[in-house]
Amino acid sequence: MEYRYLGNSGFKISEITYGNWLTHGSQVENDVATQCVRAALDAGITTFDTADTYANTKAEAVLGDALKGERRESLEIFTKVYWPTGPGGPNDTGLSRKHVMESVNGSLKRLGTDYVDLYQAHRYDTETPLEETMQAFADIVRQGKALYIGVSEWTADQIRAGHALAKELGFQLISSQPQYSMLWRVIEGEVIPTCEQLGISQIVWSPIAQGVLTGKYQPGQPPPAGSRATDSKGGARFVQRFMDDDTLRAVQNLRPVADDLGLTMAQLAVAWVLQNRNVAAALVGASRPEQVQENVKAAGVKIPDEAMRKIDEILDGVVERDPARTAMGAPAGRVA
């Protein structure tokens, strides 16, 4: 495992970070989830990412239980706030001071820790003044409940405004957590240049494009039984954008590139996002311990420039690059 600094801070995280979205507390049993976390620790992963909304708070509790007994100082634990939690009351969502302050306390209790290393705004809240949100984050940092603050799926303009307020309030905004993969490159045009200028790193989710970049989905054929594309609990909805035959056909053409490098398709996909100098970590999830053991082998891999060019040639025409997709994918107003 290799470790990278997060933003301009002195804080290091494992470049392969374990995330438990769509798995813990919903798709896999708790004992299997614990086995996956143990596999991550055995592989040298020290950084774990979750959110209060995952499985409506259950994912945090499962992760907290799985990490019991570990030396807290040797771990980096991240969580997030914004999406609805609890029974869905009028203040159970968004980035109001009330929801943020109550949410961090709930997250700490479920995770079994006095603090999180990184607390992230899971989306931008268009209905709460940014000053209110950032003041709440500043207070959380001063109270020692979070060491650093980050954001997820914010536009370049939103990141710039948040960074300016954080600096004014005396705390560090050091990370952005967007979707990023060979197929989904919408952050390259605006978000990454802005973050490089401000000293903010990316912690990218879905580097394998919801499993599509493993090559397991074949053009013109139904998805394999038990795959994410058949998951009625939410997985299928997220993978659909990549399931057209042109995309699946192009992905199959990546296999010789992976073979030449001695990598699996999944390892190639994870290693590809880590070639970007603004990416501090790739988030990987797992429903089986073997998946962790496979994906972690992407750590430290250097893909030659010629292979990077070949990947671009193969995927030309099926890559999404429009920077506007970040704003288009965010809620126009607060989710009730």
Is residue 140 one of the residues assigned to a domain? yes
Is residue 158 one of the residues assigned to a domain? yes
Alpha-carbon separation of residue 257 from 267, 268, 307 (angstroms): 11, 8, 7
Which pTM value belongs to this model? Answer: 0.93
Q: Residue 286: which pLDDT band, with cuts at 50, 70 and 90? A: confident
Is residue 323 one of the residues assigned to a domain? yes
Report d(CA 127, CA 335) in Å as an integer. Answer: 10
**Catalytic-role residue among 3, 5, 18, 54:** 54
Is residue 247 one of the residues assigned to a domain? yes
Q: What is the pLDDT of residues 237-279, one digit of tens each?
A: 677 788 899 999 999 999 999 999 999 999 999 999 999 999 9
Residue ranges making up the domain that contains 47: 3-328
| Helix/strand/coil for 273 | helix
Residue ranges in the chain assigned as alpha helix (H): 30-42, 58-66, 97-111, 130-142, 156-169, 191-198, 235-239, 245-252, 255-261, 265-274, 289-295, 305-315, 324-328
Is residue 336 one of the residues assigned to a domain? no
Report d(CA 216, CA 227) in Å as an integer. Answer: 9
* CATH number for position 206: 3.20.20.100
Quick count: other Cβ atoms within 10 Å of Cβ 29? 12
Closest-CA residue to 110 (of 60, 55, 37)? 60
* pLDDT on residue 240: 78
**Cα 322-319-185 angle, rounded to 5 deg:** 55
Is residue 335 one of the residues assigned to a domain? no
Q: Please, is 70 exposed, middle or buried when counting C-beta atoms within 10 Å of its C-beta (0-12, 13-18, 19+)?
A: middle
82 is catalytic: no
Is residue 320 one of the residues assigned to a domain? yes
Q: What is the pLDDT of residues 102-160, one digit of tens each?
A: 999 999 999 999 999 999 999 999 999 999 999 999 999 999 999 999 999 999 999 99
Strands (DSSP E) contained in 225-304 are: 279-284
**Overall domain count for the chain:** 1
Is residue 153 one of the residues assigned to a domain? yes
